[in-house]
Amino acid sequence: AAGLCPARALLARPGAALRALCGSVRGLAAGPEMHFGFQTVTEAERREKIYQVFESVAKKYDVMNDSMTLGIHRVWKDILVRKMNPSPGTLLLDVAGGTGDIAFRFINYVRSVRERQLQRKLRHHQNLSWQEIAESYQEDKSKSLGDSQVVVCDINKEMLKVGKQKAQHLGYTEGLSWVLGNAEELPFDDDKFDVYTIAFGIRNVTRIDLALQEAYRVLKPGGRFLCLEFSHVSNPLLSSLYDLYSFQVIPVLGEVIAGDWKSYQYLVESIRRFPPQEELKAMIEDAGFLKVDYQNLNSGIVAIHSGFKL
């Protein structure tokens, strides 16, 4: 993995940092040293620093996402929800869902599925009795989402605040709730959710293994785990261009748009430090998930990992 990024060679410090670099994240007993981007920090420091990163970027989060990815992050998120293909009545837990991008897409999706369902029902039931028609009025009014629900859980107050404001601004009121919580220690009961998503969040979790175990715990049997995250590009040419863009352009954008070079430097570094596709797949399997698979988007710049609790 070290060979992928020339900048890493320049920034790497000898000794402990290199060991941490090469060590498998899976096997990493939470020793005193962890990585924060390319720095070496203690576990407590890492949590603190990550919290501060998102506290700082919260208000500009969406704008930065659009600028850095040229709007493509919207497509990635659309693909995630389409892959999920939720039916009305689905209970979704969106972890690290801060500003609500996945939650809103989920609501839109089930709403349109629900509308189509109702239209189909109408077409096939032209000869309803008056009794049935009266009943249908009562039913439909309360079920525009068909009992679907999404709980957005994030550890960062600022991100949730932005998300809640966005929801109000866009008119999302029903089927949506917000919880301040830690992915490694979820405040939810066992076997509750149909789907668990974590989009561009798991990279910032300090103990990924714990987060995966918690994901497994709160999912219903038959439930699905979906993770959308930056991953590794194997194509060497593309990889070099990607590195160039990441290290030369993104922090500059961060400074110009959000006035925050360091946070975006962290972002770029954290992507490089994150386990590649196969390794993350193994970690997900370790948590007990079955039929674990991944789908590369844009040659591996982003990947969607999926697993089932069976």
Partner 1 sequence: MLRGGTAVLRRAASGGGHGQGQGPAQPLEPSLLRFLVCPLSKRPLRYEEATNELINEELGIAYPIIDGIPNMIPEAARTTQKKPPAEGSKEPEQ
Which residues sit at the interface with partner 1, rule CB under 8 A? Answer: 62-63, 66, 141-142, 144, 149, 151, 155, 157, 160-161, 164, 166, 168-174, 177-182, 185-190, 192-193
Task: Write down the least CB distance from residue 182 to partner 1, Å.
Answer: 6
Q: Which two tokens stand for residue 155?
A: 């550890």
- Considering the complex, state which of residue 198 and residue 233 has its C-beta at the smaller distance from partner 1: 198
Q: Find the angle CA(101)-CA(102)-CA(108) to the nearest 5 degrees.
A: 95
Nearer residue to partner 1 within complex by CB, 170 or 244: 170
Residue 171, phi-psi category: left (phi > 0), alpha (psi -120 to 50), beta (remainder): left
Beta carbons of 64 and 265 less than 8 angstroms apart: no
β 302-308/219-230 pair status: antiparallel
What's the N-to-C CA distance of the chain in angstroms? Answer: 33
CB of 73 to partner 1, least distance (A): 12
CB-nearer residue toward partner 1: 183 or 233:
183
Q: CB 3 → partner 1: shortest distance, Å? A: 38
Minimum CB distance to partner 1, residue 254 (Å): 17
Q: How far is the CB of 197 from partner 1 (least distance, A)?
A: 16
Shortest spacing between CB 16 and partner 1, in angstroms: 28
User: Given the complex with partner 1, which of 88 and 181 has the nearer CB atom?
Assistant: 181
Nearer to partner 1, 216 or 247 (CB): 216
DSSP state of 163: H
Provide, rounded to whole angstroms, the least separation between the CB of residue 269 and partner 1. Answer: 26
Specify the residue, 14 or 171, whose C-beta has the smaller distance to partner 1. Answer: 171
State residue 87 phi and psi, 5-degree precision: -100, 155
Among residues 214 and 243, whose Cβ is nearest to partner 1?
Answer: 214
- C-alpha to C-alpha distances, 114 to 27, 88, 110, 117, 256, nearest whole angstrom: 45, 6, 6, 5, 43
CB of 149 to partner 1, least distance (A): 7
Taking the C-alpha atoms of residue 64 and residue 141, their distance in angstroms, rounded to an integer, is: 38
User: 81: closest CA among 51, 47, 46, 110?
Assistant: 110
B/e letters for 42-58, b = 16+ CB within 10 Å, e = fewer, are: eeeebbebbeebbebbb
Residue 35, Ramachandran bin (φ over 0: left; ψ between -120 and 50: alpha; else beta): beta
Cβ(271)–Cβ(292) under 8 Å?
no
- Rounded Cα gap, residues 154 and 205, in angstroms: 11
Compare residues 134 and 290 and give the one whose CB is closer to partner 1. Answer: 134
